[in-house]
A and B are shown apart, each in its own frame.
Chain A
Amino acid sequence: MSQGDDEELEPLGPEVTALLGAAYASPPPAGVKDRGRSRLRAGIAASAAIVATAHSARVAAGTPATMVTAKGWLIAGTLSLGAAIAGGLAIHHARVWVRPPAPLAPSNLGHDEHQVAAVASTLALEQALLREARQAIAAADLAAANRLLDSHEQRFPQGALTEERETLRIIIAARAGNLASARARADVFRRRFPNSIQLPVIDHATLPRPGRR
Chain B
Amino acid sequence: MRDGSAPQATIQRAKATLVRAVNDRSADASWTSIEDIYEAEFENLWRSLRRLGVPEPQLEDAVQEVFLVAHLRLHTFDRSRPLRPWLFGIAVRVVAEMRRRRRRDRPQGPAAEALVLEALVGPEEALSARQAQALVDEALGVLDFDQRTVMVMHDLECLSAPTIAEALSLSVNTVYSRLRIARGKVTAFLRRKRERP
Contact = CB atoms under 8 A, between A and B. Distances in A.
Nearest to B155: A20
Nearest to B34: A107
Interface in B45-61: 46-47, 50-51, 59-61
Nearest to A114: B75
A118 to B, nearest CB: 7
B153 interface: no
A69 B127 CA distance: 43
A138 interface: no
B190 interface: yes
B147 interface: no
A27 B44 CA distance: 9
A102 interface: yes
Contact of B21 (A3, A35, A76, A115): A3
Contacts, number: 175
B60 A35 contact: yes
B26 to A, nearest CB: 12
Interface string B152-187: 000110001111000001000000100110010011
Contacts of B13: 6, 11
Contacts of A23: 129, 132-133, 135-137, 156
B16 A73 contact: no
A44 interface: yes
Contacts of A79: 61-62, 65, 94, 97-98, 101
A40 to B, nearest CB: 5
Q: Which of B51, B68, B136, B155 has the most CB of A within 10 A?
A: B68
Interface string A2-44: 1111101111111111111011111110001101110111011
Given A2-B17, A107-B34, A19 B132 contact: yes
A16 B130 CA distance: 15
A16 B8 CA distance: 14
B195 interface: no
A81 B64 contact: yes
Contact of B129 (A9, A25, A84): A25
A19 B139 CA distance: 11
A204 interface: no
B156 A24 contact: yes
20 contacts: A2-B163, A3-B17, A8-B176, A14-B12, A20-B136, A26-B133, A28-B46, A32-B60, A36-B38, A36-B64, A40-B34, A40-B68, A44-B71, A74-B69, A74-B73, A75-B69, A75-B94, A78-B68, A106-B34, A106-B71
